[in-house]
Structure 1
């Protein structure tokens, strides 16, 4: 019985510190802070490789046709959120090529598109 109390007495501070760190990390990600630049850069590279044939993916989109919409227009729709983009990118759509997007790729693409949002 004494050994069990000793184990819990040593483990409890470690568990509390780990939980606090995870909680603070979650708060940091939920506070609306900007996306990591590495993810945005990776998303831009993916957009150029996969999406540029149909969409304007760069920051300059003047005088181009609006079907399909350019990424700036998508980012600036009131309904566009990072979560919405991730779900959209993982869902099959008849008007888009059937590209299999992995979770980290969806994160990067969504972060890149949201980086084009005008404040």
Structure 2
């Protein structure tokens, strides 16, 4: 019984850390998007538009059916046409994916 109480307490203590980590990923992704992506992409609904009409806006990417953080992060790390290779680390790609998905229209 006592072990169960400690386990529940441990699970509850972990919840705020997980939520905070997600917010930090979005913040890091926002910074990366402003530095590297905003020249071509519209990175938020209220942000100025990017200079490349062929580059989809982040809210549009986020609204795509089936868009997931894992899928976006993987796509960002693969070479693809019309986008420079920024040499993103896995963490940077995950942070950008978190920020992109945070732009999903509500």
Q: Give the TM-score normalised by structure 2.
A: 0.72
- The alignment's C-alpha RMSD in Å is 3.0
- Any residues of structure 2 matched to 1:44-83 within 5 Å, and which? 44-60=30-46, 66-83=53-70
- 55-64 vs 67-76, greater mean Cα deviation: 55-64
Dislocated runs of 4+, deviation >4 Å: 61-66
In 2, Cα distance between equivalents of 1:56 and 1:79: 21
What are structure 2's unaligned runs of at least 5 residues? Answer: none
What is the aligned counterpart of 1:112 among 99, 102, 106? 99
Kindly indicate whether the alpha-carbon contact (under 8 Å) linking 2:28 and 2:95 is maintained by their aligned counterparts in 1.
yes
Match among 24, 46, 50 for residue 38 of structure 1: 24
Query: Aligned in 2, Cα 1:59/1:35: closer, same or farther, shift over 3 Å?
Result: farther
Change (3 A) 1:91 1:118: same
The CA deviation at 1:63 is 8.0
TM-score relative to the length of structure 1: 0.65
The structure with the larger Rg is 1
TM-fit CA distance, 1:99: 1.1
Match of 2:74 among 79, 87, 100: 87
Unaligned stretches of 5+ residues in structure 1: 1-16
1:58, CA displacement in angstroms?
Answer: 2.1
